[in-house]
Structure 1
Amino acid sequence: MKSPVAENNEITVAICSYNAAHYLPKLLEALVTQNCPIPFNILIVDNNSTDNTRALVADFAAASRIPVRYVHEPEQGIVFARNRAINESLAGRYIAFIDADELPEEKWLQSAVLSLSNDEVDCVGGRINVSLSSRPHWLSDDLLPFYGQLEHGPHPFRIIDESKPIWSGNVAYNMRLFRSGLLRFDNRYNRKGEGIGGGSDAVMFQQLLKNNCHLMYEPNMSILHLIPESKIKRSYFLKLHFIAGKKSGLYKANPGGKRIFGIPGFMFLQLFKKFFRVIVLYFEQPHAYMREAMNLTYHLGMMRSWAKLKLFLN
C-alpha cells in the first residue's frame, strides 16, 4: 500500500488507558529504557479515567528523557481510544500499541522497528506471555489464549491467513495504512470502561488480510500481559463468550428458516445438545468442560442478539 513518505522518521508507542494508573509507572519505566534504531515518543490516551492518570503522566513526562504526550479522549471505549492514538500519530512513520497492563521485554521496540523497516511490511505483531497471580485447577493451557497469550514459534514469518493471528495489545503498524482516513478500528466492536470483550482487533486483523496487506510475526517483539485476580474466574470466560456471541449475531449474517421468538428454530436443538455435553463433561472430564461451557454461552449470546433484532424489526 503506497503513500507519501512520513514527515518524521519516528515511532509512537501508544498506550490506551482507563483507570490504569497503578500499572503505568512500571510500564513507562520499561518503555524509556527500550533501545530503538529511530527516535520514539510515548503517547498516553486517557479514556475518561477517574484515577490520577493525568497527574501521574505529567510528573513522569517532566522527568523523562523520552518525549511523553498525554491526550484525553472523551468518547468512551477502547476503539475510540485506539483511533485517537492513530489520529495523533499521523505525522510519524510507525505506531506501536501496548496495553497499560502489559510490560515489554528488552528487544520489543527494536524488533518492531527492524521488522517495519522492510518497506513491504505493513504490520507486525509478536509473542504475548501471560502472568497469573494464581492458577486454579480448571484454568487449562488451552484457555490462556483468551487472556491474549500468543506463541507462533521461534522464527519470524509472513502471516497469510487467520490461523496465525496477532493482537492489538502487541502490534505495530506502518502509518501509511491510516493516512487516507479509510482504515480505522471498527466502533461496532467497542469495549467500554472496565467491560470485557470487544473484538475490534480481530476485525482489524481480518480487514488487513482482506486488503492483502503484508503482515509479519516477530517472536522477539515480546510482551508480558499481567492478569488481575478479578479475571481469574470461570465467570469471566463465560461472560466474554456471551458478549462475543451477541456481537456475532448482531453484525454477521442471520440465517433463514423457521423462527421461534425471532430465533432460528435449529438453534434451540443445538442449545440442548451443547447444554447436555457440558453436563456430561463436568462429571466425566472436569478439566475439559470449560471450553464447552464457553461454546454454550457464545451460542446463548447469538440467540439473544437475534431475539433482540426481532423485537426491533417489529
Structure 2
Amino acid sequence: MKKLTVAICSYNRAQRLPELIRALRAQSCSVPFEILIIDNNSTDNTQTVVAELSHDEGAPVRSVIENEQGIPFARNRAIAECLHSDYMLFIDDDELPWPHTLESAVHSLDVEGAECVGGRVNINFGAYIRPNWLTDDLLPFYAEINYGTKPFWIDDASTPVWTSIVAYNMDLFRNNPDLRFDYRYNRRGKGIGGGEDGILFQELLKRKVKIRYQPDMAVDHFVEDWKMKRSYFLKLHFIAGRKYGQFQMDDYDRTILGVPPFMIRQLLQQIGKTLNLYLRNKPGALRQAMNASHAMGSIWGKFLARNEKKHTADAA
C-alpha cells in the first residue's frame, strides 16, 4: 500500500495547528497518509499542541525538531523524514486546505505520472481589512497562484509553483540525493524573503522533471497584519535582489567595489521613475519602488559577493 506524508514546516504558530490538522484529517484520500510537523525551534507551545493532537482520532501526527534555524533546513529535514513514503505534500502552517486537496495531489502523482504537482493558492485576509493600496497585482508576492481551473503540464518558468502547496513523488529525491533546497536562500523564523522553492523549481525545469498544475489541490493562505504594509514589499524585493546579485549574477571585468557600473545607472533610473510616479500621484508607484528596491539589493549582493571572494582568496 502506498503512503503519503503531509509535511508542515512550522515556527511559533502553535495556535494555527489544531485547525490545520483537523482540516487535513477531514480530507478523503485514496492512500493512507500521516501528518509530519517539522518544528523549527519554536519558542511557543508547539510541542505541547502536537502531543495533544497526536492522541485525537484520524491520520497519525508526529513531529521532529529541526535545530538549524531557517526554512530550507526545515524543508530538507522534511525530505529526509519522508524518504520512507511514496509521496510528500508540503503545506504551510498559515494555510487551510480546500476539499479534495490530498486526493487531487495523489491522483496527479499516482495516476497522471507527475513527479511534482503544484496547486492553487488563494490569499485570505481573514479578519483583517485589506488596504486600498494592496492591489491584485501584488498578491503573487504573498505566493498567490491561480492559473485557471484546468490542470496542465508545466514546462517553462511562466507558471511557477511554490511550496505553499506542492507535492512530490519521493523517488525524485531518493534517486537524486543532490536535489535539495538551497541553504543560501534562507529565511529565519518570521523573517522576510526566502526563495529556496523558486530555485528548486528552476532546477526541476532544468532536469525536465514532470511538473503538473492541479487547481483542485488548493489552499487558503492567511496573511498576517505585519505583512500588510508597503515596507514589507520593499524589504521583500531588496532581499530578493541581494540574493540574486550575490548568488546568481554573472561576474563582470569592469566593476566598482565588485559592482558593474551599469547596475548603478539602472538603480538611478529606477529611483527616478519611482519619484516621478509618487510626485505625480500616479498608480503603480509602489510597484515601481519595489523595482528600485530590487535594484538596490542586487548592488548590495554584488558587493557582498566581491567581499566573499576576496576573503576566500586571502584565506588561501
TM-score, with structure 1 as normaliser:
0.95
User: Are residues 1:14 and 2:7 paired?
Assistant: yes
The code of the aligned residue for 2:38 comes to V
Identity of matched residues, %:
49
Q: Distance in 2 between matches of 1:285 and 1:257?
A: 40
Structure 1 residue 158 displacement after superposition: 0.3
Q: Distance in 2 between matches of 1:31 and 1:195?
A: 26
Structure 1 residue 269 displacement after superposition: 1.5
Does the aligned pair in 2 maintain the 1:94–1:175 contact within 8 Å?
yes
Q: Distance in 2 between matches of 1:9 and 1:279?
A: 57
For the residue of structure 2 that corresponds to 1:58, the secondary structure is: helix
Q: Distance in 2 between matches of 1:311 and 1:67?
A: 49
Structure 1 residue 217 displacement after superposition: 0.3
Q: Deviations over 1:125-176 (max 9, x none)?
A: 1110001222212211100000011100110000010001110110000000
Q: How does 1:120-139 map to 2 (within 5 A)?
A: 120-132=113-125, 133-139=128-134
The code of the aligned residue for 1:271 comes to L
Structure 1 residue 285 displacement after superposition: 4.8
Other-structure match for 1:3: none
Structure 1 residue 64 displacement after superposition: 2.9
Q: Deviations over 1:262-306 (max 9, x none)?
A: 321112211111111001111335431111111111110111122
Other-structure match for 1:170: 165
Shifted more, 68-77 versus 180-189: the winner is 180-189
In structure 1, stretches of 5+ residues that fail to align are 1-7
Structure 1 residue 253 displacement after superposition: 2.8
The size of the alignment, in residue pairs, is: 307
User: Are residues 1:230 and 2:226 paired?
Assistant: yes
Q: Distance in 2 between matches of 1:96 and 1:285?
A: 44
The code of the aligned residue for 1:116 comes to L
Other-structure match for 1:143: 138
Other-structure match for 1:118: 111
User: Are residues 1:263 and 2:263 paired?
Assistant: no
Other-structure match for 1:207: 203
TM-score, with structure 2 as normaliser:
0.94
The code of the aligned residue for 2:143 comes to G
For the residue of structure 1 that corresponds to 2:4, the secondary structure is: strand
The code of the aligned residue for 1:217 comes to Y
Q: Distance in 1 between matches of 2:266 and 2:198?
A: 26
Q: Distance in 2 between matches of 1:19 and 1:55?
A: 12
Match among 73, 76, 81 for residue 69 of structure 2: 76
Match among 278, 292, 297 for residue 293 of structure 2: 297
User: Are residues 1:49 and 2:42 paired?
Assistant: yes
Does the aligned pair in 2 maintain the 1:134–1:232 contact within 8 Å?
no
Structure 1 residue 311 displacement after superposition: 3.3
Does the aligned pair in 2 maintain the 1:47–1:74 contact within 8 Å?
yes
Does the aligned pair in 2 maintain the 1:138–1:287 contact within 8 Å?
no
Q: Distance in 1 between matches of 2:34 and 2:134?
A: 38
Structure 1 residue 255 displacement after superposition: 4.1
User: Are residues 1:197 and 2:190 paired?
Assistant: no
For the residue of structure 2 that corresponds to 1:86, the secondary structure is: helix
For the residue of structure 2 that corresponds to 1:62, the secondary structure is: coil
Q: Distance in 1 between matches of 2:245 and 2:237?
A: 12
Other-structure match for 2:151: 156
User: Are residues 1:179 and 2:182 paired?
Assistant: no
Other-structure match for 1:4: none
In structure 2, stretches of 5+ residues that fail to align are 312-316
